[in-house]
């Protein structure tokens, strides 16, 4: 089977969130299953060159692409995805990709990713390589199915190619005004666009992917149902419900080569279910590193997240001061995103030294230390397509406190005193009371070491390896090709 996977982020080359982890893991674990997978992504100024060796592809230099009367020139470099045999094709176009961040609000944002869509197809053409499936991910690559039906329709290379669009987050749709239609080359194909959007002067990348892809997937079973409802569908619920027979929910796996406390290269003390003592040492190390006092009996609650509304920060803000004032707890928070959240956590860190530490920016090593050293991991998302940190947390014995939504609902089970089953603390309603209940329940349980040890054992026994999850993808691909 030949799979072309296009993604705007691929770990370890460039990452802002879980999409990178998932794309990188799929590239690696599909190749382990002997699938011919090739990946397509931009070469950003932020791309990490140190993780692999890059070569220019000699027959893919100074290629031209037209967007109405704008000429884009790009070249292609290739590098192996680490620990795999997978070739990643990097689209080098400094005028588009040398920006201060991977995503921007610049006026040509649509063009930056339209180039990724078209270059993916044109590189396949130049290689004479006909993928069985083109796997698109999120809005940034969602136009590929439409391009196959329009601009590239003439090319018989793609006559048996099928497309699948994975929705990692329906909250980001790539919404622009219709003025870009001409530049994208769709002016003669208005009948293939969404008529409601056209009337409202909108052009929506993700929606066009949902309409034109041969198959759809998303990153957990619960989210696959949720996005068919008005509460979670972000305006696409009717369309998704209409296409539900071709919508598959596959929960994300974890690359345990990266996220396993037994081998994690970023943590000073390795530990595992069978030899758990390193966990306390990591907690002590982390607290000392941030200048906090260590006490085994004081629960340390970690957060690693993009600081955006999706992740439930409004709830955290509402309850945090109460929790800190009425309990003996410490927080360590790593995140970057909206200024108002960054400001709030900085304010709290100044107000409660030795109780709350806040770090901003993207810090991979610190994120591993927080997973290893914290007792609990807080993730009370308003919505969560899958979520990875709660799954990493399970393996690190860092008990997740989550809201029952999307992938959080599928991966964390509420701890029950009576049966001593469960892996975390789960609340249902998106409310301050819900979060306070879960936090208090967790803090209370922590004071009973026997119960806590049991829940840690339950959590650490969970296995969300990509070795297992990737088979679900292969099953889906086969199904699409039937």
Q: Under the rule (CB under 6 A), what is the footprint of ligand GLC?
A: 17-19, 22, 168-169, 219, 252, 384-388, 407
Partner from ligand GLC, ligand ADP, none binding residue 362, C-beta < 5-8 Å depending on class: ligand ADP
| 357 forms part of the interface with ligand ADP (CB under 6 A) | no
* Cα–Cα distance for residue pair 184/116, rounded to 1 Å: 12
| 336 forms part of the interface with ligand ADP (CB under 6 A) | yes
Determine if residue 207 is left, alpha or beta; phi over 0 gives left, psi from -120 to 50 gives alpha, anything else beta: alpha
196-205: Cβ within 8 A, 24+ apart: 201/177, 202/175, 202/176, 202/177, 202/178, 203/110, 203/175, 203/176, 203/177, 203/178, 204/173, 204/174, 204/175, 204/176, 205/110, 205/113, 205/139, 205/140, 205/142, 205/143, 205/173, 205/174, 205/175, 205/176
Q: What are phi and psi of 385, to 5 degrees?
A: -50, -50
Q: Residue 376's beta-bridge partner residues?
A: 301, 399
Residue from 240, 315, 388, 394 that binds ligand ADP (CB under 6 A)? Answer: 388
CA distance to 255, 270, 275, 276, per residue, from 262 (Å): 13, 5, 9, 9
Output the smallest distance, CB 381 to ligand GLC, in A.
8
* Span from 94-102, 222-230, 302-310, 347-355 in contact with ligand ADP (CB under 6 A): 302-310
| 103 forms part of the interface with ligand ADP (CB under 6 A) | no
Output the smallest distance, CB 194 to ligand ADP, in A.
26
Residue from 364, 416, 461, 479 that binds ligand ADP (CB under 6 A)? Answer: 364
The residue whose Cβ lies closest to ligand GLC is 18
Contacts of 127 (CB under 8 A, 6+ apart): none
Residue ranges with strand state E in 157-288:
162-167, 175-177, 202-204, 215-218, 247-249
Name the residue nearer to ligand GLC (CB basis): 28 or 168.
168
| 286 forms part of the interface with ligand ADP (CB under 6 A) | no
The residue whose Cβ lies closest to ligand ADP is 18
Name the residue nearer to ligand GLC (CB basis): 31 or 389.
389
| 305 forms part of the interface with ligand ADP (CB under 6 A) | yes
Output the smallest distance, CB 187 to ligand ADP, in A.
35
Output the smallest distance, CB 140 to ligand ADP, in A.
13
Name the residue nearer to ligand ADP (CB basis): 203 or 464.
464
Residue from 5, 12, 18, 210 that binds ligand ADP (CB under 6 A)? Answer: 18
For the beta sheet containing 300-307, the strands, ordered from the edge strand earlier in sequence to the opposite edge, are 356-359, 330-337, 300-307, 376-379, 399-403, 425-427
| 402 forms part of the interface with ligand ADP (CB under 6 A) | no
CB 103 within 8 A of CB 109: yes
Name the residue nearer to ligand ADP (CB basis): 17 or 276.
17
Determine the size of the site formed for ligand ADP (CB under 6 A): 18
Output the smallest distance, CB 221 to ligand GLC, in A.
13
Residues in contact with ligand ADP by the rule CB under 6 A: 17-19, 21, 304-306, 334-336, 362-364, 367, 386-389
């Amino acid at each position: 089977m030949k799979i072309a996977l296009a993604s705007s982020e691929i770990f370890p080359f460039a990452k802002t969130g879980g999409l990178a982890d998932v794309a990188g893991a799929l590239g690696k674990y599909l190749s382990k299953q002997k699938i011919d997978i090739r990946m397509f992504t931009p070469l950003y100024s932020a791309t990490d060159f140190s993780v692999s060796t890059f070569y220019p592809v000699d027959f893919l230099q100074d290629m031209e692409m037209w967007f109405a009367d704008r000429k884009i020139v790009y070249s292609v470099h290739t590098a192996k995805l680490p620990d795999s045999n997978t070739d990643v094709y990097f689209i080098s176009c400094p005028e588009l990709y040398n920006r201060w961040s991977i995503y921007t609000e610049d006026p040509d944002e649509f063009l930056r990713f339209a180039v990724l869509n078209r270059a993916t197809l044109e590189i396949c053409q130049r290689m004479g390589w006909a993928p069985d499936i083109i796997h698109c991910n999120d809005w940034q690559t969602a136009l590929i199915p439409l391009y196959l039906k329009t601009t590239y329709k003439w090319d018989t290379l793609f006559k048996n190619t099928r497309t699948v669009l994975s929705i990692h987050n329906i909250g980001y749709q790539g919404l622009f005004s219709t003025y870009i239609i001409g530049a994208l080359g769709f002016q003669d194909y208005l009948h293939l666009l969404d008529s409601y959007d056209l009337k409202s002067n909108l052009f929506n990348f993700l929606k066009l992917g949902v309409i034109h892809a041969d198959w759809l997937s998303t990153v957990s079973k619960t989210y696959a149902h949720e996005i068919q409802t008005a509460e979670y569908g972000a305006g696409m619920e009717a369309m998704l419900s209409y296409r539900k027979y071709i919508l598959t929910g596959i929960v994300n796996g974890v690359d345990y080569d990266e996220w396993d406390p037994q081998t994690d290269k970023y943590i000073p003390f390795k530990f595992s279910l069978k030899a758990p003592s390193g966990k306390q040492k990591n907690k002590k190390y982390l607290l000392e590193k941030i200048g906090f006092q260590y006490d085994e009996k004081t629960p340390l609650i970690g957060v690693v997240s993009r600081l955006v509304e999706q992740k439930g920060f409004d709830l955290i803000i509402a309850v945090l001061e109460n929790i800190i004032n009425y309990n003996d707890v410490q927080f360590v928070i790593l995140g970057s995103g909206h200024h108002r959240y960054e400001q709030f956590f900085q304010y709290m860190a100044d107000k409660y030294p030795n109780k709350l530490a806040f770090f901003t920016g993207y810090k991979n090593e610190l994120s591993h230390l927080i997973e290893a050293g914290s007792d609990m991991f807080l993730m009370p998302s308003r919505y969560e397509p899958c979520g990875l940190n709660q799954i990493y947390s399970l393996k690190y014995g860092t008990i997740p406190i989550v809201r029952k939504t999307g992938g959080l609902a599928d991966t964390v089970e509420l701890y029950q005193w009576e049966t001593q089953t469960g892996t975390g603390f789960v609340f249902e309603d998106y409310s301050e009371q819900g979060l306070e209940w879960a936090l208090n329940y967790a803090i209370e349980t922590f004071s009973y070491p026997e119960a806590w040890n049991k829940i840690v054992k339950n959590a650490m026994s969970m296995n969300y390896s990509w070795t297992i999850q990737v088979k679900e993808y292969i099953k889906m691909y086969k199904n699409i090709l039937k």
